[in-house]
Each structure stands twice: as structure tokens, then as C-alpha cells.
Copies of this chain bind each other. A is one copy, B any other.
Amino acid sequence: MRALILTNQLAYAANYPAPQPAPGEALVNVTRAGICNTDLELTKGYMGFHGVLGHEFVGIIDSLEHYPGIADNFKAGDRVVAEINCVAADSPSRDYFTRAQDPERTTLGISCRDGVFSDMTRAPIANLHHVPNNISDDEAVFVEPLAAACQILEQVHVKTTDRVAILGDGKLGLLCAQVLASTSCDLVVMGKHRNKLDILTARGIATQLPSEWDGRRAYDIVVECTGASAGFDLARRMLRPRGTLVLKSTFEGLTTANLTALVVDEITLVGSRCGPFASALRLLSTRQVDVAPLIHARYPLDQGLAAFQHAQQHGVLKVLLDIA
């Protein structure tokens, strides 16, 4: 099959061996996939991953290796998305939350398991979710990052009286913004790109350029989505004392941080990663979140290297790979 393979660098392979599903896994024909900032970081050495890249996708089930004694609702031909943290079919980790931190987990296209930038992929049946008919393939590709945005609400109680700032107008920032707007909190999104912020303005979400910050340490909650080390210190300085800083960015490398300031201001930091697919599917199906304006380009799989070059350009949002 065709695949984008990361070894020391990214390469396109026309004849990569097709995956062999294990008991309890499905073989899925990938329809469409999305390039994530994590994929770009992986190509820079993050996690030291080698294999088929990619973890955001939608596809059609080709075949299933049902696991004896475990009922499931899936059949060949079903259109599905898949959670990325995988455990064996007999594992006691039975939901996204426990799987996400299971020490035995493998992670689709990120750690110890081939991903989805290929004609076919395999995933545990337990990780699959049906995609409602009113969600397009393009939209379904966003379920995984949108679920990660939803995870913030699993971890932090966001109240209508909270002043909340999101730092970063990249893909994840724009998704987090739409999810947090659903709480009716007092929200502002701070980013450097007027054209990206306009996507949110069109949905009635307040936005600011960094230069427009009044310098007051007034936010109850700041969500750091800049995808880079530099956002941390600004996020800290925007928070009121005893505020909550939610970290969403993952990137290769270390950050020089003023930990003493966290102590003096009694800040709570919350690391936040993968989230609930069911919530993301509901937000898309009910049109509470609009992902269409985030799509900046699409490429066929055999032009995957060009797609990656495009995705790395400054100011570019989601680049899709059309696979089937």
C-alpha cells in the first residue's frame, strides 16, 4: 500500500506492507487524514518515532478481527474515526480516559504503532466511533483534535463568571476557542494572525492581538495553545494569582520557566492531552463547532511531502490528505 513513512526523515513509499490487524482490531481503509502540529514536531525528532505518520483520520472498515467474549457494534463498511491510544483487547483499560495514560499503550502514528497516512491502518475496535451522516469526511478528520480541546472541560471546571484567555490562533487554539465558548465563560482568544482570529470573530468570539493586551493579570484561566515554548511565560503573566494555566502544546525541547513565580502566585498548572471523541462528534453533529474555515489545503497521498512542506509554512492551518 502507499504510505508516508518517518525514519530519519519523511518519505513516501508506494509499496509499504499493509497492516495485519491483531485480535480485537479493525482494518480500516483511510479516506481522509489531517496533518497535525504533533506530526510536524515528530518530523523534528519529538518522541523519536519511526513508522507510518498520522493520527487524525476518517475511514471505512475493511474487516474486523472480533475478540471472543467482547461485544461490539461495528461491521465492514462502517464509517469510523478512532481514538489514538491503543491497548490490547484483553486490557482492563476500557475507556479513552484510562487508555490515554495506560503505561502499556501504543499511540497511532506517535508511539510504537504505525499511523494513518497510508491506504490502510489498523486500530482496536474498542477505539472506534461511528461518524453520524451529517458529519462530512473533512469534518470527521477534526474529531481527534476537537476531542483534545474537549478534554479541558473534563479537567477544569470553567464557570460562566470565569475570565478565560486562549493563547494561540493555530488549529488547536481555534478548536479550544469554540469548545470553551460553549461554556458561556468570558472568553478572549489572543493570537498573532488577524486572518485566523477572524474565523472566531465571525462566530462571535472575542479576539485580541498580543499588542492589545492591557497588561493586567486578570484571567482566571489561561489555555496555552501556541505550540511553542515561548507562550508559557506570557500565559503565566496574564493569570490572576491562584489562577489556572492549562497546557495543551506538545513540542520537542525544554522550556525555561520561572517556577518560583508559580509558587509565589500559587498558580495551578494542568497538563491536558487527549479527550473524549463522543463529545467532539456531538459538537460537530450539532454544528456548535465549525471546522471548515480551518482547512487551508488538500493533497493526494502521493504528494504527502509537498503537503508537509505546505503545513509547515507560517500561517497555514489544516492541510488534509485525500487518500481514498
Contacts and interface: CB of A to CB of B under 8 A. Distances in A.
Interface stretch (A262-270, A278-286, A302-310): A262-270
Given A101-B266, A250-B260, A268-B268, 13 more contacts: A46-B260, A101-B265, A249-B259, A249-B263, A250-B263, A250-B264, A252-B260, A255-B256, A257-B259, A263-B271, A264-B271, A267-B269, A269-B271
Contacts of A262: 247, 269, 271
A257 B255 contact: yes
Contacts of A263: 247-250, 271-273
A206 to B, nearest CB: 24
A106 interface: no
Interface of A: 46, 100-101, 103, 155, 229, 232, 241-242, 247-260, 262-273
A166 to B, nearest CB: 15
Nearest to A111: B264
Nearest to A266: B271
B268 A270 contact: yes
Contacts of A267: 269, 271
A242 B198 CA distance: 35
A267 B257 CA distance: 16
A256 B256 contact: yes
5 contacts: A46-B260, A249-B259, A252-B260, A255-B259, A263-B273
Contacts of A250: 260, 263-264
Given A101-B242, A232-B259, A264 B273 contact: yes
A84 B235 CA distance: 28
